[in-house]
Amino acid sequence: MLHVAVIGSGTMGNGIAHVFAQHGFPVTLIDISQPALDKALGTIGKNLDRQVAKGSLSEDDKTATLSRITTHTSIAEGVTNAQLVVEAATENVDLKLQIFRDLDLYAPEGAILASNTSSISITRIAAVTKRAEQVIGMHFMNPVPVMKLVEVIRGYATSDAVTQQVMDISRQLGKTPTEVNDYPGFVANRILMPMINEAIYSLFEGVAGVEEIDTVMKLGMAHPMGPLQLADFIGLDVCLAILRVLHDGLGNPKYAPCPLLVNMVMAGRLGVKSGEGFYTHT
């Protein structure tokens, strides 16, 4: 089994580490803060407990999954054995570019460098390395242990061989990989974010209230969550950042973020993570 390093132990990083370890891959989970790593291991344990309680995982599998995860607070030391690195750090361009410069220095020559970015260009990330053909997007969906999709994003220079390998690895995780090209928002967010933005515009313009908008989409379109509830779950700051990438990158005014979204983010109403968004979260 390939040795995998996951950079970042937040919601996406711990979900990605969980899924790799559950499917037999040895994983090094890397974050700059040991308390964040300890918290991530606690979250993985709880999410594995849910699977044990549902009968989809045995207690022995849970123990084996946890035993496959080691933690590290240094990229330089944590990636020395990695054959695949999946970066899932905060969605900040400068931070990601710095991480990829470091990965290029410290990860073994043949290692594939993947990013879980939801909208930053893979081509731009790849350009700071000397192995652009080995840089690729592996965009998992939240909650990672539950959602079946991996959006596999080919940068301008990503090789066919690396793309095939990442498609195969995604299948080994029980996921359905889908290959897409590197343009703003890829496919998932190019379609999802305008829907969320339109839901926010519907609220802003007084077409309907929060619950009414979500009910229409949940019951009328069989979405598991309404768009405003989903925006809270993703994080309103993340939604705004992705809309700005679409607006800047595609140059079409239809992607302009709704002023209500901009105001809510400025006011610190970020959804589940801040306790308040379109809904109150306790």
- Options 118, 119, 197, 202, the catalytic residue: 118
Contact with ligand CAA (CB under 6 A) among 9, 115, 189, 202: 189
| Count of Cβ atoms closer than 10 Å to residue 22 Cβ | 24
Tell whether residue 277 is a contact of ligand CAA (CB under 6 A).
Answer: no
Question: Residues 103 to 132: which contact ligand CAA by CB under 6 A?
Answer: 118
- As given in the structure block, the two tokens for residue 267 are 């006011």
Rank residues 155 and 227 by Cβ distance to ligand CAA and give the closer one: 227
Q: Which of residues 59-98 bind ligand CAA (CB under 6 A)?
A: none
Residue 147: CB minimum distance to ligand CAA, A: 6
**Residue 58 a catalytic site member:** no
3 as an active site residue: the answer is no
**Kind of pairing between the strands at 149-154 and 4-7:** unpaired
Helix (H) or strand (E) holding 200, with range, is: helix 188-204
Which residue's CB is nearer to ligand CAA, number 46 or number 280? Answer: 46
Query: Tokens standing for 158?
Result: 């990503």
How far is residue 43's CA from residue 15's CA, in Å, rounded to a whole number? 9
Closest CB 54 distance from ligand CAA, rounded Å: 4
Site for ligand CAA contains 141 (CB under 6 A): yes
Is residue 118 part of the annotated active site? The answer reads: yes
Distance set, CA 32 to CA 89, 118, 255 (Å) = 10, 21, 35
Q: Which entry of 47, 91, 119, 151 is annotated as an active-site residue? A: 151
CA gap 120, 215 in Å, rounded: 32
Q: What counts of helices (H) and strands (E) characterise the chain?
A: 12, 8
Q: Indicate the burial class of 167 (C-beta count within 10 angstroms; 0-12, 13-18, 19 or more).
A: middle
**Pairing mode of beta strands 4-7, 27-30:** parallel
Binding status of residue 222 toward ligand CAA by CB under 6 A: no
Residue 54 makes contact with ligand CAA by CB under 6 A: yes
Binding of ligand CAA by 142 (CB under 6 A): yes
Q: Is 59 noted as a catalytic residue in this protein?
A: no
Binding residue for ligand CAA, selected from 128, 147, 180, 260, defined by CB under 6 A:
147
The end-to-end CA distance of the chain, in Å, is 40
The neighbouring-strand residues paired with 5 are 28, 85
Binding mask 5-44 for ligand CAA (x = CB under 6 A): ----------------------------------------
Q: Of 24, 34, 49, 50, which lies in the binding site for ligand CAA, with binding defined by CB under 6 A? A: 50
Q: Which two tokens stand for residue 56?
A: 């989809």
Q: Which positions touch ligand CAA (CB under 6 A)?
A: 47, 50-51, 54, 118, 141-143, 145-147, 188-189, 224-225, 230, 234
Active site members: 118, 139, 151, 189
